[in-house]
Amino acid sequence: MHHRLEVLVKELREMGLLVGVGSLLSWDQETYMPSGAIGVRSEQSALLASLVHEKMTGDRFSGILSELIESNTDDFSDSEKRLLTEVHRDWKRAICLPTSFVSEYSQLVSHAQHIWQEAREKSDFGLFEPYLEKLVEKSREKAAYIDRQKPAYDVLLDTYEPGMTTAYLTPLFAILREGLVDILNRIKPSELTLPDRVFPVEKQWEYGVWFLTQMGFDFSRGRQDKSTHPFTTQFHPHDVRITTRLDANHVMDGFSSTVHEGGHALYEQGLDPAWFGTPLGEAMSLGIHESQSRMWENQIAKSASFWKGQYGRFQALFPDALSDINWETFYKTVNRVKPSLIRVDADEVTYNLHILIRYELEIALMDGTLKVSDLPAAWNQKYEDYLGICPPDASQGVLQDVHWSCGLFGYFPTYTLGNLYAAQFFEKMKEEIVDLDGCISRADFAPITAWLRKNIHGVGRAKTPQELVKDVTGKSLSQEAFIRYLLGKYLG
Ligand code: ZN
């Protein structure tokens, strides 16, 4: 490796270590930190974040990078060139924001989140409205700092899904919507639910840990804990943490969340440690990340093959709750399709309609065609149009998601992209892994994990998501595989 590049990689590794320490503080804050420590913890976290920012934008790092960018890179390998391009992208995004803007923005977000919580509890959009107005305005400003030439929404979208544009996404989502509405109209609405029964949480934990182990989650390089909102975080590929939330009355909530976070975690454990801190050792995009969690959660852990083969083990853990329920009834209950108000509780068929609603609304907010004061009415109208239901109040409607209060515009589409990528990858996997259904049925996931490691996890940011999809599946990203998957599962 070129000497200057080695120096750059060493600097990046140090930043990666600092970022990891920050993530460790946040993980602790969400899991074990005593509540009285919050003040000093915020100070610690802010200090670390500013140290990383200073290191990235400081003269030393900027000098090393500029010199490399301007030098002759003909003798660089493809991955070294890619590394340089990606670091340059990150650096430009870090350096273009004035420090005063960054601190103003982070204060706004922290206030807005606080107010959003209160507004949601009281179901009072009016409380949150002025903050949302400011967040929209500041997000437009932020986008302009990054790239004045592009529409603000495209700049924000590209932050989470590199290379993705509204010009590509809008027509794709329109076809997807047609397909989803068609499937929804053809499925008989189901009222199936599990009877009110108790599923001891220790047993739920045991089943989740068993599943994680089968997935290949390495407990010597990671752990699972409990938190109010399940999440995955990593300090290094050798230290990946997930959390789950268990409720004795809702066994699938906890199991699905364990599997979902397990999918994210497997991706993080599969990144190349040799490139730690650099873009080549980092997850490619939020959409690709979500494809990993959703594939494990839906295509695998909610499949007929899995429950047919593994229901016995599950039933044996919960004899009091499940002795009179057979696997087919359980499977149908788990996969019940019914339009509902809350995104995070939605089934696989309706889930993406929730996302399309948010996508259309946030584009309109960002380009100014929708005023923040008109947002609740627009939200309710879209729920009526797309799902045939109307939220009775703001907390079950426009105030339900935390994202906008954190200034996360352009983030929602990555959830749907994750589902589309997952279906496309899974279809390819089915062609390449002999007897995939049998493996899933036996909970023999080793071939699946090996396939994901080889094709996706180890790539880091050496490709864009679009390139990865094309290289792995031979086809460009589309809604087709996902629609085929839903048709096969729900109407096959
Ligand atoms: Zn996720």
> What's the 406 CA to ligand 1 centre distance in angstroms?
17
Q: Does 189 score more than 80 pLDDT?
A: no
Among all chains, which residue has been given the structure tokens 């494990």? 296
pLDDT interval class at 194 (50, 70, 90): confident
- Contact at 8 Å (CB) between 280 and 460? yes
Cα separation, 325 vs 232, whole angstroms: 33
Rounded to whole angstroms, how far apart are CA atoms 339 and 5? Answer: 53
Q: How high is the pLDDT of residue 15?
A: 97
Summarize the confidence of residues 281-301 as an average pLDDT.
98
The CA-atom distances, in angstroms, between 75 and each of 62, 66, 368 are 22, 17, 48
Cα-to-centroid distance, 292 and ligand 1 (Å): 8
Does the annotation count 261 as an active-site position?
yes
Q: How far is Cα 361 from Cα 321, in angstroms, rounded to an integer? A: 42
Quick check: 365 and 375 in contact, CB under 8 A?
A: yes
d(CA 363, ligand 1 centre) in Å: 22
Q: From the CA of 256, how far away is ligand 1's center (Å)?
A: 11
Mean pLDDT for the stretch of residues 149-157: 97
Whole-number Å distance between alpha carbons of 64 and 87:
11
pLDDT (tens digit per residue) in 213-251: 999 999 999 999 999 899 999 999 999 999 999 999 999
> What's the average model confidence in pLDDT over 106-121?
92
Distance 293 CA to ligand 1 centre (A): 6
Mean pLDDT of 118-130: 97
Task: List, in sequence order, the alpha helices (H) in 123-228.
Answer: 125-146, 152-160, 166-186, 201-215
Q: Where are the alpha helices (DSSP H) in 225-322?
A: 251-269, 286-294, 304-317, 319-322
For every residue of 5-23, DSSP letters joined together read HHHHHHHHHHHHHHHHHHH
Distance 418 CA to ligand 1 centre (A): 9
Q: Which of 400, 406, 404 is nearest to 121 (CA)?
A: 400
Total count of residues recorded for the chain: 492
CA of 264 to the centre of ligand 1 (A): 7
Mean pLDDT score, 417-437: 98
Confidence of residue 475 (pLDDT cuts 50, 70, 90): very high
Give the integer Cα–Cα distance in Å for 262 and 217.
Answer: 7
Going from the Cα of 416 to the center of ligand 1, the distance in angstroms, rounded, reads 11
Strand ranges across the sheet with 232-236: 222-226, 239-244, 232-236
Q: How many Cα neighbours within 13 Å face the side chain of 478?
A: 11
pLDDT tens by residue, 15-34: 999 999 999 999 999 999 99
Q: Identify the residue whose tokens are 């009110």.
A: 196
DSSP state of 236: E
Q: Which residues on adjacent β-strands are paired with residue 225?
A: 243
Q: What is the pLDDT of residues 253-281, one digit of tens each?
A: 999 999 999 999 999 999 999 999 999 99
> Are the CB atoms for 466 and 477 separated by under 8 Å?
yes
Q: How confident is the model at residue 193 (pLDDT cuts 50, 70, 90)?
A: confident
Q: Which of 11, 86, 161, 261 is an active site residue?
A: 261
**Beta 232-236 vs 239-244: how paired, if at all?**
antiparallel
What is the average pLDDT score of the chain?
96
Q: What is the pLDDT of residue 195?
A: 85
Average pLDDT over residues 378-405: 96
Q: What is the pLDDT of residues 303-333, one digit of tens each?
A: 999 999 999 999 999 999 999 999 999 999 9
Q: What pLDDT, in 10s, does the model give residues 450-465? A: 999 999 999 999 999 9
The reported pLDDT for the residue numbered 492 is: 87
